[in-house]
């Protein structure tokens, strides 16, 4: 007689890909004794068939994985470093033989925050093992149904294993199943189509190749241009209606990932949806990349005809959550997928922690975190608006990249570092004040399109150099010394300082753009003056908030660990003696009594203290 086994957990995570294994580890670190189940139809040992889109992380995702998950040493030892993002446009679309045939915005130095590329199959395999060692239970099976009961009632996840059916029950269910959309289909929660995605209508093809001759791209010799590697950056190659990425995914095999995001109105799916068509496209339009791919050994090819989608709800009052690709994806541009995931995971952990602890404001947090993550992911979606028209225009796209870098490094990164996105009061203010940015960004995108239509050349903006705007500003500059003084605890960084400077420099950029693009008429246009005034007034408003916050927190240590050490140091006295050692010498290879030989750990599982997150 066939029976179904029933098991109960605090959290069931459907999917053990990047988002699933990261969410599990974050919960295990932040909530003592939490019971977690992970389900995935793929075995624990991942193969090359499990490789997928998304091998690159920027600053926020790297901070999340290295700092929040405690995996910095693991990343250093197992995954390629990253040297920022490089951008390339052909000088002549008919001549793309070498790197010299392109205009470039090179990353000329490493970011102040170290970043990484990623071998996804290796990362997911290793982190799944770490989670099991920390107490998570992994089920190698397929989810066949999920009963999403209302409120705090136990949900039921039905799973088919190889030899039996089981039912997993939990108050909280997380969908990290990617494009299987388990909860999305169950709840009619998904949004597809350009009408719901600011006009974005894209597909993507990509290949991976091992043992490439990377000197075809760059020989590594650049004594005057940069202090970082060009090869170990994420390289973006542009053309009409498309862009391509080039990402190194493995150091030992010289494996790279090269893929395209193509806009269907310019490049139909039928013209690029096979490996043969993709290679032919590269041979004709990006010859240097074609030569790079054909120098190595092909691993795989994939094509996604419909890349972008979104969700109506991300964190439900009924205790279900959609994360990663199961929630939304728009474009791999800027490698922001793992950044969105970082915000999502930390938000979900705090919701679950607060609900399991029975805190009275848990549902309020859930609602605010849902609103924030929907708003932020829609901002990322909006950043792809009109790409079809702008990507291939080197002048306009370089100005656009500079503009969008300003928002990320001036507003988003410091908000993440200070954990302000977990503060309900700040979220309310963020949502309330989002209108200025939305209006300015939308107007600028429309003006970009007008300049493209008339074939304007307003110069090449370099997002890394400090000679483009006033005061030696560069887009990756950070304000408020939050990195230098390790203001990494919640709300220790004065976010309003960053906002003050960011909006001021955005205003400088805006007036410079109007002058370059439209002359005095553009500068004096009523709408443009209104936008300029809005940016400057926002800067002034945030400067007052910065002063107020400084007055409120001037007695609070910027970092409690450092403050504790300085307090202890007050009793320091220099002592000259050494401890005796000659009489305690043990012959090499002899194990002393009571000691044990530590077993090697191929996945480098760090030993971490239990942590907690406060709102």
Model confidence at 614: pLDDT above 80: no
Residue range 249-256: mean pLDDT, rounded:
91
Task: Provide the sign of the torsion angle of the four alpha carbons 121, 122, 127, 130, taken in this order.
Answer: positive
Among 464-468, 555-559, 584-588, 590-594, the range scoring the smallest mean pLDDT is 590-594
User: CB–CB of 198/36 below 8 Å?
Assistant: no
* Assessment of whether the complete model's pTM goes beyond 0.85: yes
Strands (E), 449-500: none
Whose structure tokens read 């020989």? 219
Query: What is the structure's pLDDT at 610?
Result: 41
Residue 303: pLDDT band with limits 50, 70, 90: very high
Longest C-alpha distance within the chain, in Å?
Answer: 87
Cα–Cα dist 254/488, whole Å: 35
End-to-end CA distance of the chain: 50
Cα–Cα dist 102/106, whole Å: 11
**For the chain, which domains are there?**
1-76+118-190+312-380 (3.50.50.60), 81-116+202-307 (3.30.9.100), 416-579 (no CATH)
What phi and psi values does residue 412 have, to the nearest 5 degrees? Answer: -80, -50
Contacts of 448 (CB under 8 A, 6+ apart): 386, 389, 390, 396, 399, 400
Query: What is the structure's pLDDT at 588?
Result: 82
3-state SS string for 367-406: HHHHHHHHHHHHHHHHCCCCHHHHCCCHHHHHHHHHHHHH
Among 43-57, 243-257, 375-389, 575-589, the range scoring the smallest mean pLDDT is 43-57
Write out pLDDT tens, residues 336-389.
999 999 999 999 999 999 999 999 999 999 999 999 999 999 999 999 999 999
Task: Provide the sign of the torsion angle of the four alpha carbons 126, 129, 130, 131, taken in this order.
Answer: positive
Average pLDDT, the chain: 93
Percentage, residues of the chain above pLDDT 70: 94
User: CB–CB of 259/53 below 8 Å?
Assistant: yes
Helices and strands (H, E) in the chain, number of each type:
17, 18
Query: What is the structure's pLDDT at 608?
Result: 39
Residue 471: pLDDT band with limits 50, 70, 90: confident
H-helix or E-strand spanning residue 120: helix 120-133
Cα–Cα dist 282/294, whole Å: 11
Instruction: Identify the CA nearest to 255 among candidates 302, 304, 298, 206.
Output: 298
Model confidence at 4: pLDDT above 70: no
Cα–Cα dist 542/495, whole Å: 9
User: Structure tokens of 2?
Assistant: 């066939």
Instruction: Identify the CA nearest to 42 among candidates 65, 71, 10, 14.
Output: 14
Contacts of 497 (CB under 8 A, 6+ apart): 479, 480, 546
Query: What is the structure's pLDDT at 49?
Result: 63
Percentage, residues of the chain above pLDDT 90: 88
In this structure, what DSSP letter does residue 154 have? Answer: P
- Could you tell me which residues are beta bridge partners of residue 248? 256
Cα–Cα dist 441/435, whole Å: 10
Residue range 75-84: mean pLDDT, rounded:
94
How far is CA 457 from each of CA 90, 165, 454, 460, 574, rounded to the nearest angstrom? Answer: 15, 64, 9, 8, 66
Instruction: Identify the CA nearest to 170 among candidates 14, 362, 345, 341.
Output: 14
User: CB–CB of 310/196 below 8 Å?
Assistant: yes
Query: What is the structure's pLDDT at 574?
Result: 95
Write out pLDDT tens, residues 43-77.
988 766 665 666 899 999 999 999 999 999 999 99
Model confidence at 3: pLDDT above 60: no
Write out pLDDT tens, residues 448-462.
999 999 999 999 999
Contacts of 601 (CB under 8 A, 6+ apart): none
Residue 286: pLDDT band with limits 50, 70, 90: very high
Write out pLDDT tens, residues 555-571.
999 999 999 999 999 99
In this structure, what DSSP letter does residue 95 have? Answer: B
What is the per-residue burial (b if ≥16 Cβ within 10 Å, else e) of 490-501? ebbbbbbbbbbb
Q: Which residue has the higher pLDDT, 614 or 427?
A: 427
Query: What is the structure's pLDDT at 435?
Result: 87
Instruction: Identify the CA nearest to 36 among candidates 232, 154, 165, 170.
Output: 170
Model confidence at 125: pLDDT above 80: yes
Cα–Cα dist 250/543, whole Å: 45
H-helix or E-strand spanning residue 203: strand 202-210
User: Structure tokens of 464?
Assistant: 């890394």
Cα–Cα dist 243/230, whole Å: 18
Write out pLDDT tens, residues 307-341.
999 999 999 999 999 999 999 999 999 999 999 99
């Amino acid at each position: 007689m066939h029976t179904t086994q029933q098991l109960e957990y605090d959290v069931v995570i459907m999917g053990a890909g990047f988002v699933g294994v990261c969410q599990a580890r974050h919960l295990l670190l932040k909530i003592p004794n939490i019971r977690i189940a992970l389900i995935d139809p793929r075995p624990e040992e991942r193969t090359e068939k499990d490789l997928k889109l998304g091998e690159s992380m920027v600053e926020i995702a790297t901070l999340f994985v290295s700092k929040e998950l405690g995996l910095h040493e693991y990343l250093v030892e197992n995954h390629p470093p990253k040297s920022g993002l490089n951008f390339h446009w052909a000088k002549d679309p008919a001549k793309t033989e070498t790197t010299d045939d392109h205009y470039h915005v090179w990353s000329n130095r490493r970011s102040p925050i170290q970043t990484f590329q990623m071998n996804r199959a290796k990362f997911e395999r290793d982190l799944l093992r770490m989670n099991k060692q920390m107490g998570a239970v992994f089920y190698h099976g397929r989810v066949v149904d999920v009963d999403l009961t209302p409120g705090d009632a136990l949900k039921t996840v039905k799973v088919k294993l190889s030899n039996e059916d089981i039912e997993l029950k939990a108050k909280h269910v997380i969908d990290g199943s990617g494009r299987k959309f388990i909860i999305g289909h169950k709840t009619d929660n998904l949004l597809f189509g350009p009408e719901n995605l600011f006009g974005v209508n894209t597909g993507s093809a990509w290949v991976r190749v091992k043992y490439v001759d990377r000197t075809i791209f760059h020989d590594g010799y650049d004594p005057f241009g940069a202090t970082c590697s060009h090869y170990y950056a994420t390289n973006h190659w542009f053309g009409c209606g498309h862009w391509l990425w080039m990402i190194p995914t493995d150091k030992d095999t010289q494996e790279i990932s090269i893929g395209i995001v193509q806009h269907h109105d310019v490049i139909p799916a039928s013209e690029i949806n096979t490996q043969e068509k993709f290679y032919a496209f590269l041979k004709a339009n990006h010859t240097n990349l074609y030569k790079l791919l054909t120098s190595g050994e092909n691993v795989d090819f994939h094509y996604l005809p419909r890349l972008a989608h979104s969700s109506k709800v991300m964190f439900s009052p009924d205790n279900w959550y959609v994360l990663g690709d199961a929630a939304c994806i728009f474009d791999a541009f800027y490698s922001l997928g793992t950044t969105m995931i970082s915000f999502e995971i930390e938000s979900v952990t705090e919701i679950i922690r607060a609900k399991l602890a029975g805190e009275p404001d848990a549902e309020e947090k859930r609602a605010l975190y849902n609103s924030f993550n929907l708003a932020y992911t829609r901002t990322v979606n909006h950043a792809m608006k009109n790409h079809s028209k702008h990507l291939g225009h080197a002048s306009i796209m370089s100005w656009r990249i500079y503009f969008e870098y300003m928002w990320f490094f001036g507003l988003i990164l410091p908000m993440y570092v200070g954990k302000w996105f977990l503060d309900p009061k700040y979220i309310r203010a963020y949502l309330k004040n989002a209108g200025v940015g939305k209006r300015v960004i939308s107007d600028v995108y429309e003006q970009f399109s007008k300049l493209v239509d008339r074939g304007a050349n307003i110069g090449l903006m370099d997002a890394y150099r400090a000679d483009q705007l006033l005061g030696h500003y560069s887009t990756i500059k950070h304000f408020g010394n939050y990195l230098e003084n390790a203001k990494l605890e919640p709300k220790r960084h004065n976010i309003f300082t960053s906002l003050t400077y960011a909006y001021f420099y955005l205003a400088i950029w805006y007036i410079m753009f109007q002058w370059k693009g439209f002359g005095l008429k553009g500068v004096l246009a009523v709408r443009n003056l209104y936008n300029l005034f809005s940016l400057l007034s926002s800067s002034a408003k945030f400067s007052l908030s910065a002063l107020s916050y400084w007055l409120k927190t001037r007695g609070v240590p910027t970092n409690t660990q450092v403050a504790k050490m300085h307090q202890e140091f007050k009793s320091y006295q220099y002592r000259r003696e050494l401890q005796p050692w000659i009489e305690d010498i043990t012959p090499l290879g002899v194990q002393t009594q009571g000691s044990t030989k530590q077993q090697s750990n191929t996945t480098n599982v760090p030993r971490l203290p239990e942590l907690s997150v406060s709102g």
